[in-house]
A = this chain, B = another copy of it.
Amino acid sequence: MASNQEEVTLLGVTRSPFVCRVHIALKLKGVEYKYVEESLFNKSDLLLKYNPVHKKVPVFVHNGKPIAESLLIVEYIDQTWTHNPILSSDPYQRALARFWSKFIDDKVVGVTSKAVFTVDEKEREKNTEEVLEALQFLENEIKDNKFFGGEEIGLVDIAAVFIPFWIPMLQEVAGLELLTSHKFPKLYKWSQELINHLVVKESLPPRDHVFAFIKRRYESLFISK
């Protein structure tokens, strides 16, 4: 359990969907924390000290103890500040939430980037197909629930924040059709609910900032060297 004298720090980069997950979890719990912006092109000593294995953000530091990997951080936050639960107390529901969160990492987030940031048309097509197949699984899974977590947002919704906020920008930049109300009506409806959730809204990075980064990265693919 958390005491009153907490030192809570999050190392992140603003544009990262993984960092955004941690912001959401902390704000859901009402935990006060210090946010430190990192540069992935010039990694700080703090980042290298706290995540010597992967040297990636987010890193969460609680009273001097570091944790890496966004989903593990969210689970830790949920276990440490136990009000407004993010995970169910039922072991089976927990297993399912972890399954779909991992699914989103393995089949949606990375694959979407591969579909967007490539000059190889075959590679793009293959990965686009794979993302659409994954989104179809999520469309079937959300059913008519407000959130994956039910009436309140849970681990899967937090893991999936990439879908309503990042995917629309990525598909716009690359001219792809991934998340549309036509293809995935239920998932699209969920995506609007999520992005308008008060806590999620205040946890998202500025759209212009992220869009500019994505656009620059995409355009740099087509600059001959």
Chain A contact residues, CB within 8 Å of chain B = 53, 62, 65, 67-69, 72-73, 75-76, 79-80, 91-92, 94-96, 98-99, 102-103, 137
Q: Which of B76, B95, B98, B102 is the one whose CB lies under 8 Å from A95? A: B76
A103 to chain B, nearest CB (A): 7
Docked complex Cα distance between A180 and B161 (Å): 44
Interface-central residue, A53, A91, A94, by most chain B CB under 10 Å: A91
Q: Which of B62, B73, B76, B91 is the one whose CB lies under 8 Å from A80? A: B91
Sample (16) of A-B pairs whose CB atoms are under 8 Å apart: A53-B103, A62-B92, A65-B92, A67-B92, A67-B96, A69-B98, A69-B102, A72-B98, A72-B99, A73-B95, A76-B92, A76-B94, A76-B95, A79-B91, A79-B94, A80-B91
Residues of B close to A94: CB separation below 8 A = 75-76, 79
Residue ID in chain B nearest A133 by CB atoms: B53
Docked complex Cα distance between A102 and B94 (Å): 17
Docked complex Cα distance between A99 and B73 (Å): 10
Q: Could you tell me the dominant secondary structure of chain A's interface residues?
A: helix
**Which 3 A/B pairs are nearest by Cβ-Cβ distance?**
A79-B91, A76-B95, A67-B95
Residues of B close to A53: CB separation below 8 A = 103, 137
Residue ID in chain B nearest A2 by CB atoms: B91
Docked complex Cα distance between A75 and B62 (Å): 24
Docked complex Cα distance between A76 and B98 (Å): 11
- 5 more contacts with CB within 8 A, not counting A72-B95, A72-B99, A75-B95, are A69-B98, A69-B99, A72-B102, A73-B95, A79-B91
Residues of B close to A62: CB separation below 8 A = 92
Interface-central residue, A65, A72, A73, by most chain B CB under 10 Å: A72
Docked complex Cα distance between A83 and B177 (Å): 50
